Structure 1
Amino acid sequence: MTTSADSTSAIPPLHADEEPPPLWFNVPDGFFALPLAATPEERAARSQEFVRGLYSRGDESIWEPAAPYYAGVAEMMADTGVSYSAMGLFSTADAEADADEDEEATAKAVAGAAEGGGVVEARYEGAGGVAQCAFTVAAVPTDQAAGDTDIAAQGILAALSREPHNDARWLDLPCGPAVSCITLTKYKLSPQVTATGEPMDLLTGQIQVHVPFPTGPFTAVFTLHTASTDYWTEFCDIMAAILQTVSFEEPPGGHPASGSADAAD
């Protein structure tokens, strides 16, 4: 699985009296941001751009019916408090799948990469196969005071560690303390929904990272979910690379977008 140039995303408040301060982070090329926006007009315009990027080899016969669908999805997601949402599509042509990667090695990969590891190169070229993921960022209210990020992270770690199926770990990011939580879930698919007509197992993985705002009282929650678990290690590297760029202060050249997070080259 391969990645290339990054794009910068900013999450500004939709409503200044209700939302947290802005948050900045970079996502690699291959992420297609859903058209989250404050108004139907903005969502409609952004959905047109979204479908043209997602279906870059399509035409109006594909783009026109798809745009309203994704505008509706974006409206529903915005209503749940999600500030940024994207689909990740990455070429698998040059990747070597490792289906035996276990949960312990995965957690170490995330923690190690978060301390300065890199990310493999990625771009969307479907001819050789595509690995997919869903990526969201939300800011949830928490009760920490300004500057109490360590206390907030310790509470999050304690809460997540109570669930035996969670692999919750402390992370030290450039922007401050954070907590990662990795879960792998196996589903039984019935013969009616499989291509072979036989029952199959579907393994999915989720990486969720909680980053308390230093200003309080919010925590940013980054979530990456994928069923392409043959490329689990690569997705861990991608998530870790994104986390390295998280900032609660506007970086040089940063341009917060209006409404919701925008990806800008």
Structure 2
Amino acid sequence: MTVDDVVPITAPASASIEVLAAGQPDLWFELPPGFTEFDLGEDPEERMLRMVDAVDRLFAEVASEQKFGFVVAGEYALRTLIAAGAEHASSCLLRMPDGRLSQGTLCVIVENPVVGPEDQDRRGVATRTAIQWREQDPDAEVGLIMLPYGPAAVCIRDQDLRIPGGIFGLNDSIPTSTRQVQFCVPLRTSPGSALFTFMTEDVEHWAEYLEVVSGIMKSVSADEPDMESLQVSDSPDAGGTEGQI
């Protein structure tokens, strides 16, 4: 199966992340079809109710238990990312060829370390990050890549998590396994790095998700994208957005 076989639920857009004192975006990136950006200040209960409504509307034929588990797992991941200081968070919602619901979460965190002369060398920052990741998790796939925006460290690893049972109304926590890819992108206009993290429980379709995330990383730019060039559609089966940092 290829990424073209899946059906996205939203249309294209862009996002940006602001890290400068003047409040101007340091970098931009494009969110492909299927991604919806979250308001990080939104009330969690309202957000979950909105997600439930969206899933009910788009996947009416899916069993209630599956839809409930999907929403709760996504909300737990989102709360964890917000608590970690996420500047951007979005959810990817796809329908696989077999009709199954599939979801992934993207977040971007800006890291501002103590500035030293070595922090001006962007490739050096990416290299040191890759070395640190490899030391922390010898089983992870770690390397360096060159994006259009500049050098970046990349890390792919599996994680076993336990979702608090209270979110489900249960006493015991719920075990789950996720796969995630992280990109540490040293910033051009200020010290620090943007840490992009994408995670999903749908390991079966990891190759397709990795293709989608690779497209996002290739779109990272210091320049705001031309939104008129993005094929935005009002159809629920179209897809994409814009992000900024």
TM interval, shorter chain, is: 0.5 to 0.7
Q: Give the equivalent residue in structure 1 for 2:122.
A: 149
Q: Which residue of 1 aligns with 2:106?
A: 135
TM alignment of 1:60-71, pairs within 5 A:
none
Superposition map of 1:72-221 within 5 A: 77-78=81-82, 80-93=84-97, 128-142=99-113, 143=115, 147-163=120-136, 164-185=138-159, 203-221=177-195
The one-letter code matched in structure 2 to 1:57 is R
**CA displacement, residues 112-165 of structure 1 (integer Å, 9 cap, x when unaligned):** xxxxxxxxxxxxxxxx11121111111111336675211111111121121312
TM-score (normalizing by structure 1): 0.60
Higher RCO, Cα 8 Å, sep 6+: 2
1:57 equivalenced with 2:57 (yes/no): yes
Instruction: Quote the residue 1:8 is aligned against.
Output: 14
Higher alpha-carbon deviation: 72-81 or 151-160 = 72-81
- The one-letter amino acid paired with 1:165 is D
Mapped partners of 2:162, 2:203: distance in 1: 15
Question: Could you tell me whether the CA contact under 8 Å between 1:20 and 1:218 is conserved in 2?
Answer: no
1:24 pairs with 2:28: yes
Conservation of the 8 A alpha-carbon contact between 1:35 and 1:71: no
Aligned equivalents of 1:202 and 1:188: distance in 2? 6
In structure 2, C-alpha distance between the alignment counterparts of 1:202 and 1:49, rounded to whole Å: 23
Structure 2 segments unaligned to the other structure (5+ residues): 59-73, 164-174, 229-239
Unaligned runs of 5+ in 1: 59-69, 95-127, 190-200, 255-261
Q: How far apart, in 2, do the equivalents of 1:243 and 1:249 lie?
A: 14
Q: For the structure 1 residues 57 and 202, does the alpha-carbon distance in structure 2 shift closer, same or farther, using more than 3 Å as the test?
A: closer
Distance 1:203 1:210, change over 3 A: same
Structure 2: how far apart are the matches of 1:233 and 1:263? 22
Q: Which residue of the partner structure matches residue 39 of structure 2?
A: 35
Contact kept, 8 Å, 1:2 with 1:90, in 2: the verdict is yes
Q: Kindly tell me: are residues 234 and 53 of structure 1, through their superposed partners in 2, closer, same or farther at Cα, counting changes over 3 Å?
A: farther
> What is the deviation of 1:219?
0.5
Residue 251 of structure 1 and its aligned partner are, at CA, apart by 3.3
Work out the CA distance in 2 between the residues paired with 1:49 and 1:22: 33
1:144–1:216 CA contact under 8 A, matched in 2: no
Deviation, 1:223, is 0.5
Q: Report the CA distance between 1:18 and its aligned residue.
A: 9.8
On the 8 A contact 2:90/2:105 being kept in 1, the answer is yes
Q: 1:157 to 1:73 in 2, by over 3 A?
A: closer
How far residue 19 of structure 1 moved from its aligned partner, in angstroms, is: 7.7
Of all paired residues, the percent bearing the same amino acid is: 23
Question: What CA deviation, in whole Å up to 9, does each residue of 1:6-42 have, x standing for no partner?
Answer: 21112235xx6498853210111211222124xx7xx
Kindly tell me: are residues 91 and 23 of structure 1, through their superposed partners in 2, closer, same or farther at Cα, counting changes over 3 Å? same
How far residue 172 of structure 1 moved from its aligned partner, in angstroms, is: 0.5
